[in-house]
């Protein structure tokens, strides 16, 4: 019979062996895209300090960005993460390696101020994509940004259009935001409130931070529907589709009709397949783009222009789209990649 100590040693050795095997087998994931193609950017290196693959948006961005640059022969060092503290460490590590470019998606705007200043001092160019950096270092980086204020405006337009189509001359709205400390969230709310100010008959009665969390969104929505009563809310804005869909489920479970001639008007954002399906089913009224594929393609294009010395403008903004049943065919494919 084996002794406990022997089993432990065996388990440890087994785990170590599996780790080594996984490392050996998984080496392909870290291989530079387009290696061996021998095209114009061979020998150049990009440190991708982006969102981690555990995030659906990040996973698809990383895939498309890698695919778009594969044929150029540029080497991409994967330094992605979803942890703000780890991102600062990886960014500093990237600066020390002196790549030709750091492609950065910022998780914590404030925490990245000093690292960006260090990169500038070290002469390492930084390209921020998706969300903007802190205004104090905005001139120290290049950027390909989502138009977050526009995305907020589109959400408000969806709600106003939906309520007007139902013939409502007044309406109460609840808003479940992403993490409020993020500039992305703040910019979207700026756009949302600006458009809504033009339709004062529709009022926001509750705005809660749901931290980009689908489970929390559902819980908060359940409580808000109870707080305001079944007839107390006519519209809801979940800042991402994966937050808007739990709102719809919470409404249904509370006995509140969704969509149609007199049901709850729900709008989302960061369009994805389930959101498109919901619009098609007549439940979610609308959403807006900020899909990772479009941003990845434009960021890859910017990267090539910069690394080949074409001197692109310091800041580029993605053109966003408003998605409703009327424009569904135009955006369905673009939004169904994730």
Partner 1 sequence: MTSADGSRHSAALATHPDPADPTPTPGGRLPRRPGPLTVASVVLLLPLAVLAVTTDRFLTLDNARAILASAAFVGITAIGATLVMIVGSAVSLAVSQTATVVAMVFLVTQHLGLLPAVLVALVCGVVLTAVQGAAVGYWDANPIVLTIAAGFAVGAAATWFSGGTPVYPASDAFVVFNRTLLGLPLSVYALLAVTVLAHWLLRRTTAGRQMYLVGENRAAARAAGLPVGRVTVLAWAFFGGCIAVTGIFLASFNTAATVTLGGTLTLDAIAAVLVGGTAIAGGRGSALQTLGGALLISVISDVLLLRGYSTGMQILVKGLLVLVVVIAVHLRTTRGWR
Instruction: Identify which range of 70-78, 111-119, 123-131, 227-235 contacts partner 1 by CB under 8 A.
Output: 227-235
Number of residues counted as binding partner 1 (CB under 8 A): 46
Residue 322's alpha-carbon distances to 4, 157, 254, in angstroms, are 62, 9, 29
The answer to whether 318 and 295 have CB atoms below 8 angstroms apart is yes
What is the Cα–Cα distance from 315 to 109, expressed in whole angstroms? Answer: 17
Measured from the CB of residue 235, what is the shortest distance to partner 1 in angstroms? 19
Closer to partner 1 at the Cβ: 7 or 122?
7
Q: Token pair of 131, please? A: 């969300």
Measured from the CB of residue 176, what is the shortest distance to partner 1 in angstroms? 10
Residues 257-316 that bind partner 1 (CB under 8 A): 272-274, 278
Which spans in the chain are helix H?
A: 4-25, 56-70, 84-97, 113-122, 148-165, 183-197, 214-228, 241-253, 273-280, 292-307, 328-335
Q: Token pair of 328, please? A: 């569904």
Measured from the CB of residue 335, what is the shortest distance to partner 1 in angstroms? 12
Burial of 156 (0-12, 13-18, 19+ CB in 10 A): buried
Measured from the CB of residue 104, what is the shortest distance to partner 1 in angstroms? 19
Measured from the CB of residue 283, what is the shortest distance to partner 1 in angstroms? 10
For residue 280, the tally of other CB atoms under 10 A from its CB is 12
Closer to partner 1 at the Cβ: 11 or 326?
11
Measured from the CB of residue 210, what is the shortest distance to partner 1 in angstroms? 7
Closer to partner 1 at the Cβ: 134 or 209?
209
The answer to whether 243 and 176 have CB atoms below 8 angstroms apart is yes
Closer to partner 1 at the Cβ: 137 or 247?
247
Measured from the CB of residue 220, what is the shortest distance to partner 1 in angstroms? 7
Sequence-distant (≥ 6) Cβ neighbours of residue 197 within 8 angstroms: none
The answer to whether 218 and 167 have CB atoms below 8 angstroms apart is no
Q: In what order do the strands lie in the sheet with 286-288?
A: 202-209, 171-177, 235-238, 265-267, 286-288, 322-324
Residues 186-225 that bind partner 1 (CB under 8 A): 208-211, 213-216, 218-220, 222-225
Binding of partner 1 at residue 107 (CB under 8 A)? Answer: no
What is the Cα–Cα distance from 37 to 74, expressed in whole angstroms? Answer: 9
Residues 40-59 that bind partner 1 (CB under 8 A): 53-56, 58-59
Closer to partner 1 at the Cβ: 4 or 311?
4
Instruction: Report the residue from 253, 308, 314, 330 that binds partner 1 according to the rule CB under 8 A.
Output: 253
Instruction: Report the residue from 154, 242, 285, 302 that binds partner 1 according to the rule CB under 8 A.
Output: 242
Measured from the CB of residue 275, what is the shortest distance to partner 1 in angstroms? 10
Chain residues binding partner 1 by CB under 8 A are: 4, 7-8, 11, 53-56, 58-60, 62-63, 208-211, 213-216, 218-220, 222-227, 229-230, 242, 245-246, 249-250, 252-255, 272-274, 278, 338
């Amino acid at each position: 019979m084996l002794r406990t100590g022997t089993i432990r040693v065996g388990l440890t050795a087994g785990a170590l062996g599996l780790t080594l095997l996984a490392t050996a087998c998984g080496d392909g994931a870290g291989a530079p895209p387009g290696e061996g193609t021998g095209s114009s950017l061979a020998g150049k290196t990009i440190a991708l300090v982006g969102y981690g693959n555990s995030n659906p948006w990040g996973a698809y961005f990383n895939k498309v960005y890698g695919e778009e640059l594969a044929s150029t022969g540029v080497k991409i060092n994967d330094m992605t993460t979803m942890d703000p503290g780890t991102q600062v460490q990886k960014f500093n590590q990237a600066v020390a390696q002196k790549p030709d470019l750091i492609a950065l998606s910022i998780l914590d705007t404030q925490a990245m101020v000093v690292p960006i200043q260090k990169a500038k001092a070290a002469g390492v160019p930084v390209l921020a994509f998706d969300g903007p950096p802190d205004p104090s270092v905005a001139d120290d980086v290049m950027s390909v940004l989502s138009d977050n204020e526009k995305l907020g405006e589109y959400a408000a337009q969806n709600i106003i259009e939906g309520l007007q189509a139902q013939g409502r001359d007044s309406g109460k709205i609840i808003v479940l935001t992403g993490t409020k400390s993020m500039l992305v969230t703040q910019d979207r709310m700026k756009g949302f409130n600006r458009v809504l100010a033009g339709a004062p008959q529709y009022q926001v009665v509750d705005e809660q931070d749901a931290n980009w969390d689908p489970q929390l969104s559902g819980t908060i929505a359940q409580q808000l529907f109870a707080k305001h009563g079944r007839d107390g809310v006519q519209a809801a804005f979940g800042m991402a589709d994966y937050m808007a869909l739990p709102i719809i489920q919470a409404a249904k479970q509370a006995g509140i009709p969704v969509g149609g001639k007199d049901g709850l008007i729900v709008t989302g954002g960061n369009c994805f397949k389930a959101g498109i399906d919901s619009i098609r089913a007549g439940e979610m009224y609308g959403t807006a783009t900020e899909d990772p594929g479009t941003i990845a393609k434009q960021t890859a294009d910017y990267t090539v222009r910069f690394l080949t010395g074409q001197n692109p403008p310091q800041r580029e903004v993605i053109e966003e789209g408003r998605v409703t049943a009327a424009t569904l065919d135009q955006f369905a494919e673009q939004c169904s990649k994730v």
